[in-house]
Structure 1
Amino acid sequence: MLTTTTFRSLGILPETAEALEAVGITTPFPIQEMTLPVALAGNDVIGQAKTGTGKTLGFGLPLLERVTVAADVEAGRAAPEALADSPQALVVVPTRELCQQVTNDLLTAGKVRNVRVLAIYGGRAYEPQVDALKKGVDVVVGTPGRLLDLAGQKKLSLKHVRALVLDEADEMLDLGFLPDVEKIIAMLPAKRQTMLFSATMPGAVIGLARRYMSQPTHIRATAPDDEGATVANITQHIFRAHSLDKPELVARVLQASDRGLAMIFCRTKRTAADVAEQLAKRGFASGAVHGDLGQGAREQALRAFRNGKVDVLVCTDVAARGIDVEGVTHVINYQTPEDEKTYLHRIGRTGRAGASGTAITLVDWDDIPRWQLINKALDLPFNDPEETYSTSPHLFELLGIPEGTKGILPRAERTRAGLEAEEVEDLGETGGHGSRGPRGRGGRDSRDGDAPRTERPARTPRRRRRTRAGEPASAAETAAQAAVGTLTTGAQAPAPAVEDALAPSAPQEQEAAPRTPRRRRRTRAGASGAAGTEAAAVAVVAEPVVAAAPAPVLEPVTDESAPKTPRRRTRKAAAIAPEVPAPAAPPAEETEAPKAPRRRTRKAAAVAAEVPAPAAPADPAPAAAEEAPKTPRRRTTRKAAATAEVPAPAAAPAEESEAPKAPRRRTRKAAVAPEETPTA
């Protein structure tokens, strides 16, 4: 006998019944018929029913009845002071897809009364949700993480909540949401109505109910002709298939004659992405929904699936609950589910609201023990699945696949627009793989939630400017030229600084800070000691410095009877300097008579080349008569480094020289071999 119960006879508001009748919903399902009288009375309820039997309206209609809106004040059912902008009812769900599904159903049922329902879940920008809360919301449907975030920021007020619903409570426990759910419940008023709904009700959910519910009524609804855990109008097929043959097998199953929309479930995210890609290459309009995708891409695939642009949806268990899409005829378990609860929720995506469907499960050889546990728990007759391949005749016969079907969809049948035809909505995603913001709960996105995604400008490379001794290269070269000019005129400058200035391409890391030049006055006693350290420095400045040196000035040196020609010393090239040893300077006390001063000047390289220097004798000491006084020699300040080139000869004792000798004039040797010239 057919039931004549309607929603109007169950005592719901006329506006709610009118909204349901507008979409063709007039007769309640068993879970709705049994739950509404108890829930409308304000009692706590634990509802349990199979997937696809209308649990959402089973708790949604009583929830809408407890909300006071402006239409109730106009109808005289409530006082104006009962209105509130903060939420009056709260629904907590485990997944984002289920959050969207419940929100859509509540909006449909509360359309005539204009009930404001807001979905709050992660992966979207905070700003639109916060703005909607400021404008006023009657019912909030959300996931635990985002609800705690907004409540902690004082954006969401839960002090006016009159009814709480925990949908798919067993899934929230499995995902580890129990601590978050307990925090949310602690924020609610103590006096409220609490309802728990799920297709499976493990012992942990019953313990949660006893802790937070007051004398709940446990309602388990089944149809009279529907025995067992699964829905009777779903045809189940279990095949033992090889993993390498599964893509070909699935491609042929998808070409069955009576196939509408199809959902393929995988255990891992990587497998789901791979199967979707392979099906797309075979010509099928496929989309993917899994945790590695951003929220925008997940919603794009679901919209394309509902709109018919995509007829194959490959997903993980995130879409196993709450997805209610009309026209799903086939559900394929590409991989064996983890347990019997997951199996029930997967195949429950088809055969919904009294429709028929087909559920196909492909079991690997390694998954046979797992499947046998599921089969035993659900009391199914498929303990030993039949070995099946993509070419097996019984596969074509059982599923209605035309003969000669191959694993590639013919081009004539590729009529779907595909996933690319559905635009991706900019949700201002926060966290996850599809966003740029920081990951984790409470992380804010680096972009504004309402602004379009913009690319960052290209980074300008840093330009490096070569400097020498802390100054630009051009300034350093100018300073080097000035230093060379100073040395040319006879001023003192340190040899290392000149060497650095004359090096045109010295590496930057070898540059040193300029040193303060020390003025050194050369003495005969210290000439030999400084010769070794100053010889290398003269090698760099020998040619450029002496090129502009002034001509030497000669002064006569006289003895008692006749004037003597003073000795003239010039610089030698750095290459000849090591060949001439440095003679020791005579002590000042051994010279009894004053000597004529010798004036030493620098000699240009050109002059040294034209006038050859005399060869140095073995005993170069200048001799002078003891009784004849000598004109003292006048020495000019020379660069300390020049003494390494032409060392002073050793002086002979004054008492051994009996007769005066003509002084020898020494000049600097050129880079060529030296020649002897007669003395003046």
Structure 2
Amino acid sequence: MTTQPDHITLPDDDGDDVGTYVPEAAGPVTPPSFSDFGVHPLIVQALADSGIHAPFPIQAMTLPVALGGHDIIGQAKTGTGKTLGFGVPLLHRIVSPTDPGYDDRPAPGKPQALVVAPTRELANQVMGDIKTAASLRGIRVTAIYGGRAFEPQLEALRAGVEVVVGTPGRLIDLAGQGHLDLSYVQTVVLDEADEMLDLGFLPDVEKLLAMTPASRQTMLFSATMPGAVVALARRYMTQPTHIRAINEEGDSGHTVAAIEQFVYRAHAMDKVEMLARILQARERGLTIVFSRTKRTAAKVADDLRERGFASASLHGDLGQGAREQALRAFRAGKIDILVATDVAARGIDVENVTHVVNYQCPEDEKTYLHRTGRTGRAGNTGVAVTFVDWDDLPRWGLINKALDLGIPDPAETYSSSPELFSDLDIPTTATGRLPRSERTRAGLDAEVLEDLGETGKAHRAPSRGGNDRSRGDRGGRDGQRGGDRTGGGQGSAPAASGDRPARSRNRRRTRGGSPQGS
């Protein structure tokens, strides 16, 4: 695989972009190991122990700049390793409790690095990846996000932590209460930076940055980085270097070349039948089905379970315990279909996701990129299928034009269309139900639902309304502060408009205040 970069833009003394750095003149872009960059040996060993030996392009291009403490705007397609692109240099610069002179620091035990993510799921995942790389150095990493009880997070901060990964709402809460001290942070990372700065997070980001030293290193990473967002980001950075990487020679498009894309004009009444057949494609592994609404996600997951598939929903009306239960079951293979709103589209990395299905057309090209980027990750191949309703044709036209996909007019397709079976390698005998002989998954109930001490939910019946506080579904500030306001089970979202309340009252007819009838 050729790991030729698109460009690395270097700033001049005034912070303006000048010229283009050509890596060939400075040696190979991707060396055999992280150690060739001078990364701490214990970090290199920890990565090797987890099966990571050579850096991806975005990592190889980022490390020489980031290890020097320079500010970075990092851009690469989804699934190309951005987390370690900032995680490895972040950890390299940290003074570990096992390092000589740690106790001589001004404030041992205070956070030295802060990573901010837009969703709880992404924060949890980033924390896990950084923990893996830090495991042999003794660096303490903790996640701070809403939907969980405050006490365990406070205990972790009191015990001492070097890296904090969190969502803006809970971070600001704890910092405002004096539990989180960011005055000794030397590195700040905004993951999925376009989301952080573009859609309502800017005031929170400004508050958090104001709590950190002006001399900090700032790194922004995302798959999409519009020019306006880049200009906005540079207000908070010092002479940033803009690094943009591609995967392989000739892969100059917006989407990863390893993802095979199919787009069908589908009738709303036939979508579940089409989906049921797609889910029986040969060599299908884990699959994520995306919807635009929480109601649809819950309804589709229920329909698939009724048809024999091991599925679960993931959306903002679920409590944090139920959301994490669904993700754990999905990663463990107890279920193989996750029906999710865009709360799961940003940065979630699950191995062996072979198919992504857009059950409802994405809102825009950025959402399309992040949804389809859940497959074809880390050098693997994947399949992305998009259903386009008749009403969504104008929206799809804009997405197709923006990404230059070459599919301006999707073919009208039904669950019985031969091309559906041939395109996706579906057995011609497949029907709308999974044969009993193939129902081998343990299911969601096989995964334990943890009691996270979720805030704002004690002794309340599950909400039947759409009062969602999840940032991933564009509600509330970021869904992290104060936790979800709704129930924590998979059934907490309405499956249909005719759902009844959890409780009902027996009423007696009266006339003039006296009971009537017997």
* TM-score, with structure 1 as normaliser: 0.63
Aligned equivalents of 2:207 and 2:266: distance in 1? 46
Q: Greater relative contact order (Cα 8 A, min sep 6): structure 1 or 2?
A: 2
Query: Are residues 180 and 203 of structure 1, via their aligned partners in 2, closer, same or farther at CA, if it must alter by over 3 Å?
Result: same
Q: How does 1:631-650 map to 2 (within 5 A)?
A: none
Aligned equivalents of 2:133 and 2:439: distance in 1? 37
- Report what 2:203 is aligned to: 179
Q: Does 1:81 align with 2:108?
A: no
Q: 1:427 deviation in Å?
A: 0.5
- Report what 2:55 is aligned to: 28
- The aligned amino acid for 1:164 is V
Q: 1:191 deviation in Å?
A: 1.1
Q: 1:241 deviation in Å?
A: 0.4
- Report what 1:256 is aligned to: 281
- Report what 1:135 is aligned to: 159
- Aligned pair count? 443
- The aligned amino acid for 2:398 is L
The answer to whether the Cα contact below 8 Å between 1:45 and 1:195 also exists between their aligned partners in 2 is yes
Q: Does 1:416 align with 2:466?
A: no
Which of 401, 404, 412 matches 1:379? 404
Partner SS state of residue 151, structure 1: helix
- Report what 1:144 is aligned to: 168
Aligned equivalents of 1:263 and 1:434: distance in 2? 32
Runs of 4+ with >4 A deviation: 1-4, 432-446
- Report what 2:391 is aligned to: 366
Query: Are residues 330 and 436 of structure 1, via their aligned partners in 2, closer, same or farther at CA, if it must alter by over 3 Å?
Result: same
Q: What's the RMSD between the two structures over aligned residues?
A: 2.1
- Report what 1:565 is aligned to: none
Gaps of 5+ in 1: 447-506, 508-680
Query: Are residues 62 and 260 of structure 1, via their aligned partners in 2, closer, same or farther at CA, if it must alter by over 3 Å?
Result: same
Aligned equivalents of 1:30 and 1:433: distance in 2? 47
Q: Does 1:309 align with 2:354?
A: no
Q: Does 1:274 align with 2:311?
A: no
Which of 235, 253, 261 matches 1:211? 235
Gaps of 5+ in 2: 3-29, 470-475, 486-512, 514-518
Q: Does 1:349 align with 2:374?
A: yes
Aligned equivalents of 2:410 and 2:114: distance in 1? 44
Partner SS state of residue 299, structure 2: helix
Query: Are residues 202 and 434 of structure 1, via their aligned partners in 2, closer, same or farther at CA, if it must alter by over 3 Å?
Result: farther
Q: 1:321 deviation in Å?
A: 1.2
Q: 1:212 deviation in Å?
A: 0.9
The answer to whether the Cα contact below 8 Å between 1:396 and 1:403 also exists between their aligned partners in 2 is yes
The answer to whether the Cα contact below 8 Å between 2:320 and 2:484 also exists between their aligned partners in 1 is no
Partner SS state of residue 98, structure 2: helix
- Report what 1:426 is aligned to: 451
Aligned equivalents of 2:326 and 2:229: distance in 1? 32
Q: 1:120 deviation in Å?
A: 0.3
The answer to whether the Cα contact below 8 Å between 1:44 and 1:217 also exists between their aligned partners in 2 is yes
Query: Are residues 436 and 140 of structure 1, via their aligned partners in 2, closer, same or farther at CA, if it must alter by over 3 Å?
Result: farther
Query: Are residues 380 and 246 of structure 1, via their aligned partners in 2, closer, same or farther at CA, if it must alter by over 3 Å?
Result: same
Q: Per-residue CA shift, 1:382-402, capped at 9, x if unaligned?
A: 111011000000100111110
Aligned equivalents of 1:433 and 1:218: distance in 2? 46
The answer to whether the Cα contact below 8 Å between 2:198 and 2:229 also exists between their aligned partners in 1 is no
Q: 1:403 deviation in Å?
A: 1.1
- Report what 1:484 is aligned to: none
The answer to whether the Cα contact below 8 Å between 1:15 and 1:113 also exists between their aligned partners in 2 is yes
The answer to whether the Cα contact below 8 Å between 1:238 and 1:385 also exists between their aligned partners in 2 is yes
Aligned equivalents of 1:187 and 1:62: distance in 2? 22
Q: Per-residue CA shift, 1:488-510, capped at 9, x if unaligned?
A: xxxxxxxxxxxxxxxxxxx9xxx
Aligned equivalents of 2:53 and 2:79: distance in 1? 17
Query: Are residues 231 and 103 of structure 1, via their aligned partners in 2, closer, same or farther at CA, if it must alter by over 3 Å?
Result: same
Q: Does 1:202 align with 2:202?
A: no
Partner SS state of residue 293, structure 1: coil
Moved more, 262-271 or 436-445: 436-445
Tell me which structure has the larger Cα radius of gyration.
Answer: 1
Q: How does 1:89-108 map to 2 (within 5 A)?
A: 89-108=113-132
Aligned equivalents of 2:242 and 2:232: distance in 1? 13
* TM-score, with structure 2 as normaliser: 0.83
Q: How does 1:282-297 map to 2 (within 5 A)?
A: 282-297=307-322
